[in-house]
Amino acid sequence: MIALYSIENDYNQPPNNLVALFKSKPSLEKLGSYFGGFPSSDDSRTLDIVKLWSMDHEVRIGNTDYRLEEVDFAD
């Protein structure tokens, strides 16, 4: 499963605020739907979504950091 996490720019935020959970890696369009659509009319937002989708980068959108990562669940 793939989890989309957020961390708001606040000193007391836990590192794993679950935004969405996907059975498999979401398409760019599906991931972009959480940020106003893909591609965005803002080129930097489109680039941020692509970076996030690559699962190699944490990105800041607005005042919030987001990351996409694979998660395992124990039986």
Q: Is the confidence at residue 1, as pLDDT, over 80?
A: yes
Helices (H), the chain: 28-32, 43-53
pLDDT of residue 75: 64
pLDDT digits (tens, 9 = 90+) for 14-43: 767 899 999 999 999 999 999 999 998 899
Q: What global pTM score does this model have?
A: 0.85
- What integer best gives the mean pLDDT of the chain? 90
The closest of 67, 73, 75 to 3, measured between CA atoms, is 67
pLDDT band, residue 70 (cuts 50/70/90)? very high
pLDDT of residue 16: 74
